[in-house]
Amino acid sequence: MRSPQHTHRSGRAATAIAVIIVLIIIGAAVAIWLVTRGVISPGGLYLQGADRAREQDISQAVTKVAPAVVRIDTVVGGGPEGILKGLFGAPSDMFPRQGLASGIIINARRGYVLTNAHVVRGVHEMKVTLPDGRVFGGRVLGLDPVTDIAIAQVKGRNLPAATLGSSDGIRVGSWVIAVGNPFGLENTVTAGVLSAKGRTLVGEQGFAVTDLLQTDAAINRGNSGGALTDLRGQVVGMPTAIIPFAKGIGFAVAIDTVKSVIGELVRTGKVAHAWLGIDTATRAQDNRVVITRVMRGTPATKAGLRTGDVIESANGASVRRGEDLARLMRTLRAGDRLRLTVLREGKTITITTRLTESPQVK
């Protein structure tokens, strides 16, 4: 016979097992309900709160901008001009080379397509393909190698157009989305954060491209000229470069830079960048910008600037890095005046000069 104590233990064990079974059933039911409601995925990835909101924001932003992000196919070299160049020492231009990149329609009525200068430099054939399948021939209206910005044009009706936002207004750490055609894979979307602002890179022709945005959103060959947007679907940048073999480091031209040159590119086909005629370096020990070379026959020579002068301010703005001066120079045009405060042999002096057009981009 069982003792009362043994019976009591068995009853408690049975009760515990029953409770466990009930809890398992309830847990399974709750899990199924959460999956059907989309709160969690079958793999257990929670998409609650901010994550679900961000997913929805990214999707909505892509819906707004993607129709205006186009594929650009180009042919460089070949043709009469390429053959003539080849006869005079540039044989590579005798043979056509195909290129593939991206662009953004920014004016539906006029058919303006924004892209990189390095995408359309020297092209004699250009094809623009929209996400809806329409294909147009394109022509380059203007390009600027200093900022790596170009404007092309297509003729078509009912074109979509992207909305330009503000690169100055977006904060580092904000979510951004890259839309383009990497490796010809049309309408590819990647997302990440704005990693930094105000970066400087040396472009293909040796120009220092300033005020670039840095992002960890995946950017690959073919993304050039595409869109970098905020979560509202407004374009804040245009992907332009990557660092080979570096993961999560891509660069985009700031859209505020684009806005500053669009009008001039459309009107004249180029940007008359102001030129002072100096080289500078930033001293690491005191963060001062020092003139390392003054070129002959330039506004700098005429103004009396000398090698070794320390630039303290330009047009009233403090200069602490070479990028500070480069950023200011980008806002000026040939014929504008530049007032510099420089430190020379312990004395502060003010020098004013009238800038000329950079001979490199004439």
Q: How confident is the model at residue 9 (pLDDT cuts 50, 70, 90)?
A: low
Euclidean distance between CA atoms 303 and 276, whole angstroms = 10
Phi–psi pair at 64, nearest 5 degrees: -75, -45
Query: Which pLDDT score, from 0 to 100, does residue 138 have?
Result: 95
Position 183 pLDDT exceeds 80 = yes
Q: Is the pLDDT score of 87 beyond 50?
A: no
**What would the DSSP string read from start to end of 102-134?**
EEEEEETTTTEEEE-HHHHTTEEEEEEE-TTS-
pLDDT at 92: 52
Specify the pTM.
0.75
Rounded Cα gap, residues 202 and 323, in angstroms: 12
DSSP, res 252: E
What is the spatial distance between Cα 359 and Cα 362, in angstroms, rounded to a whole number? 5
Rounded to an integer, the average pLDDT of 1-8 is 52
Q: Give the confidence band of 362 by pLDDT, cuts at 50, 70, 90.
A: very low
How far is 190 from 206, CA to CA, in rounded Å? 29
Mean pLDDT of 3-31: 68
Rounded to whole angstroms, how far apart are CA atoms 143 and 209?
14
- Across 61-81, average pLDDT: 87
pLDDT, greater one: 153 or 89: 153
Given a cut of 90, whether residue 116 has pLDDT beyond it is yes
Tell me, what's the pLDDT at 242? 86
Over the stretch 141-165, which tens digit does the pLDDT of each residue have? 999 988 899 999 999 999 999 999 9
Asked if 255 contacts 166 with a C-beta cutoff of 8 angstroms, the reply is yes
Residue 209 binned pLDDT confidence (cut-offs 50, 70, 90): confident
Closest among 253, 175, 249 to 215, alpha carbons compared:
249
Domains of the chain: 4-47 (no CATH), 64-154 (2.40.10.10), 164-267 (2.40.10.10), 274-361 (2.30.42.10)
Tokens at residue 117, please?
Answer: 């200068």
Q: Express as a percent the part of the chain with pLDDT over 90.
A: 55
What is the H or E stretch that residue 347 is in? strand 347-354
pLDDT band for 247, please (50, 70, 90 cuts). Answer: confident
Cα separation, 121 vs 150, in Å, equals 9
Helix ranges restricted to H, the chain = 4-37, 49-65, 79-87, 117-120, 255-268, 299-303, 322-331
- Average pLDDT of 125-146? 95
- The larger pLDDT score, comparing residue 224 to residue 91, is at 224
Mean pLDDT of the chain: 85
Reported as a single tens digit per residue, the pLDDT across 275-333 is 898 888 888 778 889 999 999 989 999 999 999 999 999 999 999 888 788 888 888 88
By annotation, the residues acting in catalysis are: 118, 148, 224
150 backbone φψ class: left, alpha, beta (φ>0; ψ -120 to 50): beta
Residue 327 amino acid letter: R
- Amino acid sitting at position 245: F
pLDDT for res 50: 59
pLDDT at 221 over 50: yes
